[in-house]
Amino acid sequence: MKKFLEKLRRRKVEEEEFVVLPFEEEPQEKINIRIENFGGLSDVDRIVKLVRQGNIVFLRTKTLQKRDIGHLQAGITKLKKVCDQYGWDIAGTEEGYVLIVPRFAEIVRE
């Protein structure tokens, strides 16, 4: 029985040994995060262009929200349609920001 237990102990020690492989970090392309003001429907094309280029875009909507809520809703609706069309993700915050991310990113909602 002692021999059997000794074999198990040796085997366990052998299994715990490992080799550390060198890790080379591949250079990655930088992702730009843009903070832009949202003035309504007239800014939708500019914002779509930024996201197509691979930028993550934060839109400030607070000023438009105070000025004309209807214009803000129309602009956000158009942005939602474009996001659905291209597979982008869009989310709004309580602080008056809208976040739009390209396909390679995902907004985690809790």
Averaged over successive runs of 10 residues, the pLDDT of the chain (110 residues) comes to 63 56 68 89 91 91 89 92 92 91 87
Question: Domain for residue 70, yes or no?
Answer: yes
Q: For the whole model, what pTM was predicted?
A: 0.69
- In a domain? residue 17: no
Does any domain span residue 21?
no
Please report, for the domain that includes residue 84, its CATH number: 3.30.110.150
Q: Tell me if 43 is assigned to some domain.
A: yes
AA letter at 14: E
| Domain enclosing residue 66, as ranges | 28-101
52 domain residue, yes or no: yes
Quote the crossing angle between the two packed helices 44-52 and 69-86, to the nearest 10°: 30
How far is residue 40's CA from residue 34's CA, in Å, rounded to a whole number? 17
Distance, in Å, from the CA atom of 11 to the CA atom of 5, rounded to the nearest integer, reads: 10
Question: What's the domain count of the chain?
Answer: 1
Residues 6+ apart with CB under 8 A from 101: 51, 56, 57, 88, 89, 90, 107
